[in-house]
Structure 1
Amino acid sequence: MKKTIAVILAASMALTLGACGTNGGEASSGPVENTGETYTWKLGTIYNDPSAKPDFNSFGIATQKFCDLVAERTNGQLIIEPYYSSVLGASEELWGSLRDNEVQVFYGQPMSTSDPRFGAWNIPYMFSDYDQVEELIASPDAPLFQLAQEWMEEDGVHLVAVGGGVFRGFFNIKHEVGAIEDIRDLKCRIYEDKVVQTYWGDVCNATSMAFSEVYTGMQTSAIDGLEFAATSVLSSQYYDIANPSYYSDIDWQWTSGNNLVVSRDAWNELPDDLKEIVTECAWEAQDVFLEEEKANGEAALAELESHGTVIHELTDEERQTWIDHARSLDDKMKEEIGEETWNEVWDVINSYNG
């Protein structure tokens, strides 16, 4: 699945720069000529290293794909070194390091604690499927991508690409969960975000916790579970903590978890031809992510089940309890992200929905 603008960009680069474009995921010509000037960037992410965890790890695979493509297509002029599993910090720390140019690339989800507008992408039940996500935000000409790019420029960084993200279910080691009332007795890990805290705060014992601490948190009973995508639950092997464990497809939130963002200083010092290659490679890596995530989604549920996880598919009535809770909080979430931001985003979504 390639996007129209990527094809146009590829053709333009082939004519003006001799750089390679995308054609079914393969380079259409050789790398650019190495002029001798080289750049080395650090990429920070919370996601797992695909060399250590190759299965059901769409985020890690896309990260490595991006780094490899850039090295190949710039002929070694730009080397991006990935640092996985929060070794350079959690998402909030990485964002600060990005703005200070201590880290040149961030691959993950910008937190609303850094900019309240980023909370717009965390609104529960905002998107319904990947087709809607791609049309509205996960492509270069998508209206919400362009809006997000404007916000990040104002924050002092450059948004290169937004991927397909994931829809998040719920995993726990205590009992099966259907309707939202079923989680009231559970200690649930959530991530640091006002919209997320608003949604989960009064329906369970919600605790903000770094992603890197989740496994130990469940082992020590500090938490009972977390809202997370099935593929990520599987990649992180949370099913090893208890047998049985439980997963529910609440799909409560689309998470913009694979923003590819470059620090302003690093971006500005890069020559234009390399900027074009980085942009092209970023979108191609995001395509790889979505292909992996779609293929792995159903397989992940079957694989979790084989490890002793009980899979609960919500009935329409059960799902409606989660949706109703979300819509009851719209006014509060509007205040948290800002009325202007809320209206900008929902105007686009409502236009799409007709």
Structure 2
Amino acid sequence: MLKISNLLKTSLATLLLSGGLVQAKELRLSHQWSTKDVRHQVAQIVADEVAAAGVDLEVKIFPSKSLLKPREQYKPLSRGLLDMTVFPLSYAGGQRPAYNLTLMPGLVKNHDHAVRLSQSPFMEELQRQMAEDDVMVLVHGYLAGGFVGKDRCITKPEDLSDLQTRAAGKSFEQMLVGAGASIASMASSEIYSAMQTGILDAANTSSASFVSYRIFEQVKCYTPASDVALWFLYQPLLMNKSTFEGLNAAQQAALLDAAAKAESFYLEEAKKQDANSVEVFREAGVEIAEMTQEDFEAWRSLARETSYKQFVSEVEGGQDLLDLALSVK
């Protein structure tokens, strides 16, 4: 009996050391942002809550594009090579053109409207397409943005006439060209130097990027996201669907509970980032302009004739999907 007991102990130790079935399951979560970014904080809430649940499940986060390049995460996720990611869904628009609607001007008016959109038949259709790729949404989340002008305020389409502008995404570029602007494509990290050297007259990006890249040092006027905004980007926390379904019931419940807490945090923090950006720009002496509902409708009318029309012409079933999105009030 003593020999059998020692053999069992030896086998158990071997299993523990070799990462056998008795060890907690580890999920790998990748994203492109720093550990100070709200999107990392969303991931960290999920990891911390799951760890606290004590269900033999660990979420290991790889921030700052340390595991995969920013735009190269969807395919590994869909193939089960990656378990989770916080990811701007429009990055995968090449694989699924419908995803381009998640960075479309005027589709989302404000953060509360974004919540309604995430709970709508429009999002159900996007999730159905994700499921075909073995992908599911754990945490919904949108971040907003606005405009800056080097010498003038940008609130309505005619304000961009004859200006050299940077836009966030192809659909925005199409709309701004329709407003009479010339486009200079570049990463948001390059806006500062382009403003400084006179390459750019105006720019469009997220509230967080405007602050983190200190764009307030180079502009006269800032039009932030407030009651209405043009720029909203859907950036959910996604998970491989088969991986989730392979977890036991307690682990799945822990993930879903953690996701609910993270989603509430994401919404409130997104609103805070917009408000914080206004204070930062105001303190720097930059004029703050407000976009009115009338301005918003003017932009949306322009979008219908430019970026919306282009999307519908290029995407099978695009009109039905666009109508679903626009039907959310």
TM bracket, shorter-chain basis: 0.7 to 0.9
Corresponding residue number in structure 2 for 1:248: 223
CA distance in 2, matches of 1:220, 1:73: 53
Write out aligned runs for 1:92-171 (5 A): 92-111=71-90, 112-137=93-118, 139=119, 142-163=120-141, 165-171=142-148
2:200 maps to 1:200 = no
- Alignment TM-score, normalising by the size of structure 2: 0.77
2:312 maps to 1:326 = no
Write out aligned runs for 1:76-95 (5 A): 77-84=57-64, 86-88=65-67, 91-95=70-74
Per the alignment, do residues 283 and 337 of structure 1 end up closer, same or farther by CA in structure 2, a change over 3 Å counting? farther
2:36 maps to 1:70 = no
Per the alignment, do residues 281 and 183 of structure 1 end up closer, same or farther by CA in structure 2, a change over 3 Å counting? same
Write out aligned runs for 1:300-339 (5 A): 300-315=277-292, 318-329=295-306, 330-338=308-316
Contact 1:118 1:337 in 2 (8 A): no
Q: Which moved more, 1:219-228 or 1:274-283?
A: 219-228
Once the two structures are TM-superposed, the CA of residue 213 in structure 1 deviates from its matched residue by: 4.7
Structure 1 counterpart of 2:156, which letter? A
CA distance in 1, matches of 2:198, 2:251: 49
Per the alignment, do residues 36 and 323 of structure 1 end up closer, same or farther by CA in structure 2, a change over 3 Å counting? same
Corresponding residue number in structure 2 for 1:278: 255
Q: 3-state SS of the aligned residue for 2:89?
A: coil
Q: 3-state SS of the aligned residue for 1:126?
A: coil
CA distance in 2, matches of 1:270, 1:225: 48
Report the identity percentage: 18
Contact 1:170 1:247 in 2 (8 A): yes
CA distance in 2, matches of 1:89, 1:185: 39
Once the two structures are TM-superposed, the CA of residue 255 in structure 1 deviates from its matched residue by: 2.0
Per the alignment, do residues 322 and 158 of structure 1 end up closer, same or farther by CA in structure 2, a change over 3 Å counting? same
CA distance in 1, matches of 2:71, 2:315: 17
Structure 2 counterpart of 1:39, which letter? E
Per the alignment, do residues 198 and 235 of structure 1 end up closer, same or farther by CA in structure 2, a change over 3 Å counting? same
Q: 3-state SS of the aligned residue for 1:42?
A: strand
CA distance in 2, matches of 1:326, 1:207: 19
Contact 1:125 1:253 in 2 (8 A): yes
> Deviations along 1:7-42, whole A, 9 cap, x unmatched?
xxxxxxxxxxxxxxxxxxxxxxxxxxx963321413
Structure 2 counterpart of 1:122, which letter? L
Matched residue count: 302
CA distance in 2, matches of 1:308, 1:222: 22
Once the two structures are TM-superposed, the CA of residue 319 in structure 1 deviates from its matched residue by: 4.0
How much is the aligned-residue C-alpha RMSD, in angstroms?
3.1
Structure 2 counterpart of 1:286, which letter? E
CA distance in 1, matches of 2:78, 2:185: 24
Once the two structures are TM-superposed, the CA of residue 290 in structure 1 deviates from its matched residue by: 0.8
Corresponding residue number in structure 1 for 2:38: 58
Contact 1:120 1:341 in 2 (8 A): no
- Alignment TM-score, normalising by the size of structure 1: 0.72
Write out aligned runs for 1:5-24 (5 A): none
Contact 1:249 1:312 in 2 (8 A): yes
> Deviations along 1:283-340, whole A, 9 cap, x unmatched?
32111011122234334312221023321123555444323211223333322333x2
Structure 2 counterpart of 1:37, which letter? A
The runs of at least 4 aligned residues of structure 1 exceeding 6 Å deviation read: none
Structure ID, larger Rg: 2
Equivalent of residue 288 in structure 1, options 258, 265, 282: 265
Contact 1:113 1:192 in 2 (8 A): no
CA distance in 1, matches of 2:94, 2:169: 7
Q: Which runs of 5+ in 1 are unaligned?
A: 1-33, 51-56
CA distance in 2, matches of 1:87, 1:347: 37
